[in-house]
Amino acid sequence: MTDEICPICGKEKYSFSMKTCPMCKKRFCDECEYRMGGGVFCSKECANLFYFSGEDGYDET
């Protein structure tokens, strides 16, 4: 079994337990995950980008 180091916390984890952030593609362990809206991300910033980076829904003109 190959181990992998979590870049966020620095702990050694099994590769199969590491997750990949859908926004930045960074790998992270279950202890470092950030959950929002049913998704799992590496940080609050990536979660906010995923859910709130779209158009505001109105024109400023």
User: How far is residue 44's CA from residue 15's CA, in Å, rounded to a whole number?
Assistant: 23
User: How far is residue 41's CA from residue 20's CA, in Å, rounded to a whole number?
Assistant: 8
Confidence (pLDDT) at 13: 93
- Tens-digit pLDDT profile for residues 7-30: 999 999 999 999 999 999 999 999
State how beta strands 3-5 and 12-14 pair: antiparallel
- Tens-digit pLDDT profile for residues 26-57: 999 999 999 999 999 999 999 999 999 865 55
